[in-house]
Structure 1
Amino acid sequence: MILTLTRIEVARRLLKYNRGLLKKGRPYGPMVRVFKQGRAELLRGKTVAVIGYGNVGRSIALNLRDSGLSVLVGDLLGSEYARRAKADGLEPRPIPEAAELGDVVVLALPDDAAPEIYRTEVLPGLHSGKALVLTSGFPAAYGLLQLPGGVDVALFVPKAPGPAIRDRYLQGRGYAAVVGVVEDVSGSALDVALAVADGAGAFKQGGFAVEASAREEALADLLGEQILKASLLAAIEVAFELMTKAGVPQELAAVELYGSGELGELGRLMSLVGPYGALRLQSPVDAYGQLARAGTYRKAIARVAARVLEEILGGDFPREIYLERAAGYVKFNALWRSVTASELAQADARLRAALRQGP
């Protein structure tokens, strides 16, 4: 109980931020820069310390290493992540030691854990002349990180799942990313962000980086997760329920909704030609059905999305997630139990089993 209360108090202290920070946006207009190259060689002769060896941290660290850079990994020794780093040929160090040794420190920790670990284990090692690179704008946007004096603070936020960052690097393919500057002490903070992006493989074939502030990146990320991805998940669940009630076999419903890979291919087309360009590449029946029904869904989604936006701008969501972590993820675990016990999850398990068995 003492530990839980301590974490709750930490979460409350962390969330004493400027409530108007996220509400300050840039005016509309063609002000965003897109980069297609960086100079990883700027980091040669320096030590890059990647703090955190989860999905994102592992991919970034391995890509930087394979780009010929000197890389250290900081994580809890004896943990699963530290053992994995060692198996990958990297020597893990305690986080404070890695932060102390790194000339460029890449913070690749989950958003809910980053502020506390940063404050106690990373910040003391950030001396003047170093650079801190954040892989998420969230902590900086909400004022949850005490910025060190005399240190460049930049953003490099991959817009790809952690394993895909590594897979695409090995395939010679790039990916989308966000780069930006939080504090530019030396005048070279953006160059550092672009160098890390280059070394991490973002600028390989087809890759690019969009410039944004921490506030802009956090807002885009949270709204994308809580409006697009949440409504997509809900739509899959509702469509599955209605399909099966109408007589469609559960496994066929799962294949139709996502199991065929069509949804992923549609996403790939959107990345190449935009949502309406992708619509033109679908059949008239498919395109008409989407356009004719989209307005009804748009109105319903807009009502929920407006509330989501207010919760993000007002700080309710970050407060919610940090208190959830402090409480031991009770609600989060309950939500997981609910979805894993659903008919959709069971149908998906049967489909996976059938696919593994082969003909």
Structure 2
Amino acid sequence: MKIYRENDSTYEKIQNKVIAVIGYGSQGDAQANMMKDSGLNVIIGLRKGGRSWQKAMDDAFEVYEVSEATKKADVIQVLIPDEIQQVVYEKSILPNLAEGKVLCFSHGFNISYKRIVPPKNVDVIMIAPKSPGPSERKVYLEGFGVPALLAVHQDYSGNAKNIGLGMAKAMHFTRAGVIDLNSLEGSKKDIAPFDKETFTDLFGEQSVLCGGVAELIQSGFEVMVEAGYPPEMAYFEVSHELKLITDLIYKGGIEQMYEKVSNTAEFGGRTRGKKVIDRSVVKPVMHQMMKDIEAGDFAKEWMDEANSGMPKLKEMRKNEGGNQLQTVGDELRKLFVK
């Protein structure tokens, strides 16, 4: 595993280039401002009249429609949602993607699933911070950075990696460490660098970080309430305190978490946790999820959903967004606002 740090990167290959950040949401806002504050030449590409247009202008950026920003830029950093990247790329980026330009992403979805197939005469790179945008910006302003991944899909210029490292340095990612996915190998030796990020990112979100954790919290809450306990107590025990536990895991891993909690909690966790998460049952399901991701089945399902107006997602938001766990939590969280 190759990890690049501050002394492994310079601004030499990026300092004279114009970087167009396409999109000004969570990641676009954070990445554009970090690079600008570090002295790089950053412009913003947006849909004219969109809700982010005025915000980007208020933040002292030159703002253009996506096609015009692409024309002006040497580096095009695509930071719009996965489900609209292909349409925006084909309409506004590809016609203006001249030879020698750099196409950059922070998630490999559209490259991995060949929804976007760039011409051979451009560099294609990925800089994927392992953090939500606001957290990246906060840590940057504190003088440090978050870890990130770097991948090179096409190196037409011969400088693709150094361009990516220069951008990563400007965002302080090299202060924490940038992992080179082109050097990182698992047992699947033939997996492409972009695919390593795409497949693992999707799997982590679905199986643990978003899907698995959310369902576990919901189930624990419902069991306590159904057993007759106050929903407020159930919320504290299965949701509120989760942050305290994940903070311990973040700092020192699962074993350090067990060192920090009580012996009673450790014994209960080690003996009962395996009954809740029966690996003989859960892992086959997870393996199938991984196969669906690698084969593109999930990507197709998601794109079909997005292209049809997201009816299933909207229905789930409606049905699950106002459940008891959410409403009780909303009331309790008001108590903790400074």
Separation of aligned partners in 2, 1:271 and 1:176: 13
Residue pairs, 1:71-86, within 5 angstroms = 71-86=42-57
Q: Which residue of 2 aligns with 1:351?
A: 332
Letter in 1 for 2:327: Q
Q: Which residue of 2 aligns with 1:60?
A: 31
1:36 aligns with 2:5: yes
CA deviations 1:172-226 (Å, max 9, x no partner) are 231121111100112221111111111122234xx22222210000011011001
1:199 to 146, 170, 186: 170
Secondary structure, in 3 states, of the residue corresponding to 1:112?
A: helix
TM-score, normalised relative to structure 2 = 0.90
Contact 1:134 1:155 in 2 (8 A): yes
Farther off after superposition, 100-109 or 303-312 = 303-312
Deviation at 1:254, TM superposition (A): 1.7
1:177 aligns with 2:148: yes
Separation of aligned partners in 1, 2:330 and 2:251: 32
Separation of aligned partners in 1, 2:153 and 2:105: 9
**4+ runs deviating over 4 angstroms:** none
Separation of aligned partners in 1, 2:244 and 2:18: 39
Separation of aligned partners in 2, 1:187 and 1:271: 37
Secondary structure, in 3 states, of the residue corresponding to 1:150?
A: coil
Q: Which residue of 2 aligns with 1:292?
A: 271
Contact 2:149 2:179 in 1 (8 A): yes
Contact 1:49 1:102 in 2 (8 A): yes
Letter in 1 for 2:74: D
Gaps of 5+ in 1: 1-31
Separation of aligned partners in 2, 1:145 and 1:345: 38
Q: Which residue of 2 aligns with 1:333?
A: 314
Secondary structure, in 3 states, of the residue corresponding to 1:145?
A: coil
**How much identity, in percent, do the aligned residues show?**
29
Separation of aligned partners in 1, 2:60 and 2:238: 40
Farther off after superposition, 216-225 or 247-256 = 247-256
Q: Which residue of 2 aligns with 1:277?
A: 256
Farther off after superposition, 191-200 or 302-311 = 302-311
Q: Which residue of 1 aligns with 2:129?
A: 158
Separation of aligned partners in 2, 1:266 and 1:103: 44
Q: Which residue of 2 aligns with 1:22?
A: none
Letter in 2 for 1:226: Q
CA deviations 1:266-298 (Å, max 9, x no partner) are 333333323333333332222222222333312
Q: Which residue of 2 aligns with 1:125?
A: 96
Contact 1:50 1:71 in 2 (8 A): yes
Contact 2:13 2:159 in 1 (8 A): no
Residue pairs, 1:203-214, within 5 angstroms = 203-204=174-175, 207-212=176-181, 213-214=193-194
Q: Which residue of 2 aligns with 1:250?
A: 231
1:104 aligns with 2:75: yes
Deviation at 1:317, TM superposition (A): 0.7
Deviation at 1:118, TM superposition (A): 1.1
Separation of aligned partners in 2, 1:40 and 1:279: 43
Tell me: CA distance 1:267–1:354, structure 2 relative to 1, closer, same or farther (3 Å). Answer: closer
Contact 1:73 1:85 in 2 (8 A): yes
Separation of aligned partners in 2, 1:121 and 1:237: 42
Letter in 2 for 1:242: V
Letter in 1 for 2:29: R
Q: Which residue of 2 aligns with 1:220?
A: 200
TM-score, normalised relative to structure 1 = 0.85
Q: Which residue of 1 aligns with 2:187?
A: none
Separation of aligned partners in 1, 2:111 and 2:47: 23
Deviation at 1:100, TM superposition (A): 1.1
Separation of aligned partners in 1, 2:172 and 2:247: 19
Secondary structure, in 3 states, of the residue corresponding to 2:235?
A: helix
Q: Which residue of 1 aligns with 2:61?
A: 90
Length, aligned pairs only: 322
**Larger RCO of the pair (alpha carbons < 8 Å, separation 6+):** 1
Contact 1:251 1:350 in 2 (8 A): no
Secondary structure, in 3 states, of the residue corresponding to 1:109?
A: coil
Residue pairs, 1:9-24, within 5 angstroms = none
Secondary structure, in 3 states, of the residue corresponding to 1:44?
A: coil
Gaps of 5+ in 2: 182-192
Deviation at 1:41, TM superposition (A): 4.8
